[in-house]
């Protein structure tokens, strides 16, 4: 049975938590990761939700936390970054926890794939390497094939390859968004709350099954994905719903 997200409004100030993917969920995709745009109204909405839920709002993203902070500046929120490789549960506690960097030799091997042609871009996250082909979608199959050939030469426990929308990411194994969410839900601001998670991509599929462990709900964006309770049409619909949620919280607080 599909849940209408508006049925969850107004949020309970003391028992709701929000966990939000970024690209394709909160923000519309751009030709390159650096070209995304954050509407000032979204910053206002997120700030209101963070205050209204007593800090129980977090980003869950494949982006690094430093990158998240840059694109949402001056707003900072708790965050799971790098598909679980980075973790910042408290914005007052200083820098996020960072994993060891991906070995340079492995990075160089995968970086050579960018030579496939124009439009294949490298993003070095330190602990991970992303190969974007949004500007050259026709080269996607060649990128994926080249990644798989290199991975066959590397011990399976060394790296994990993650496929997203027009991107392949190579990162250390054993961390993912689900492990990050589990860690976040143990933190004081989130513990005992019912999370609402929204994501749009293959990398979010590790999170959908675990949300029920916390008696929460999860929603996909663009199309209904397996294990979700409902679906938003696009990031515009997500932003509009979050604005309604913030407004309803303010009305409850005033009452």
Looking at the structure, tell me whether residues 181 and 62 fall in a common domain. Answer: yes
Confidence (pLDDT) at 94:
59
Given the residues 6, 21, 39, 201, select the one marked as catalytic.
21
Number of domains in the chain: 2
Query: Do 178 and 207 form a contact (C-beta atoms < 8 A)?
Result: yes
Query: Do 76 and 69 form a contact (C-beta atoms < 8 A)?
Result: yes
The predicted-structure confidence for 75-88, as pLDDT tens digits, reads as follows 999 999 988 888 99
Tell me the mean pLDDT in the region 114-127: 89
Counting residues of the chain whose pLDDT is more than 90, the rounded percentage is 68
Looking at the structure, tell me whether residues 17 and 90 fall in a common domain. Answer: yes
Confidence (pLDDT) at 73:
95
Q: Pairing between strand 230-232 and 217-221? A: parallel
Query: Do 98 and 127 form a contact (C-beta atoms < 8 A)?
Result: yes
Looking at the structure, tell me whether residues 185 and 168 fall in a common domain. Answer: no
- Is 21 labeled as catalytic in the residue annotation? yes
Could you tell me the residue range of the domain that residue 163 belongs to?
Answer: 104-172
Give how far Cα 248 sits from Cα of 11, 167, 197, Å: 8, 37, 19
Query: Do 81 and 100 form a contact (C-beta atoms < 8 A)?
Result: no
Lowest-pLDDT range, 96-105, 124-133, 187-196?
A: 96-105
The predicted-structure confidence for 9-26, as pLDDT tens digits, reads as follows 999 999 999 999 999 999
Looking at the structure, tell me whether residues 188 and 203 fall in a common domain. Answer: yes
Residue pointed to by tokens 């005033």: 254
pTM, whole model, 2 decimals? 0.81
| Mean pLDDT value across the chain | 90
């Amino acid at each position: 049975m599909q849940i209408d997200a508006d049925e969850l409004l107004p949020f309970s100030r003391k028992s709701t938590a929000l966990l939000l993917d970024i690209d394709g969920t909160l923000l519309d995709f751009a030709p390159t990761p650096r070209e995304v745009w954050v509407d000032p109204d979204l910053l206002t909405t997120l700030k209101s939700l963070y205050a209204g839920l007593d800090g129980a709002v977090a980003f869950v993203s494949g982006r690094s936390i430093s990158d998240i902070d840059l694109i949402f500046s001056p707003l900072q929120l708790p965050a799971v970054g790098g598909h679980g490789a980075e973790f910042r549960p408290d914005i007052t506690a200083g820098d996020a926890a960072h994993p060891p960097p991906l070995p340079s030799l492995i990075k160089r091997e995968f970086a050579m794939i960018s030579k496939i042609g124009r439009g294949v871009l490298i993003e070095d996250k330190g602990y991970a390497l992303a190969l974007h082909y949004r500007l050259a979608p026709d080269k996607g199959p060649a990128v994926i094939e080249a990644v798989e050939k290199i991975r066959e030469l590397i011990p399976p426990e060394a790296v994990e390859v993650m496929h997203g929308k027009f991107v392949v990411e190579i990162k250390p194994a054993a961390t993912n968004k689900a492990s990050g969410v589990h860690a976040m839900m143990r933190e004081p601001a989130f513990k005992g709350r019912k999370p609402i998670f929204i994501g749009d991509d293959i990398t979010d599929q590790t999170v959908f099954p675990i949300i029920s462990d916390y008696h929460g709900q999860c929603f996909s964006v663009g199309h209904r994905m397996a294990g979700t309770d409902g679906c938003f049409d696009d990031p515009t619909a997500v932003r509009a719903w979050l604005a309604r949620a913030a407004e309803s919280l303010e009305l409850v607080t005033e009452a």
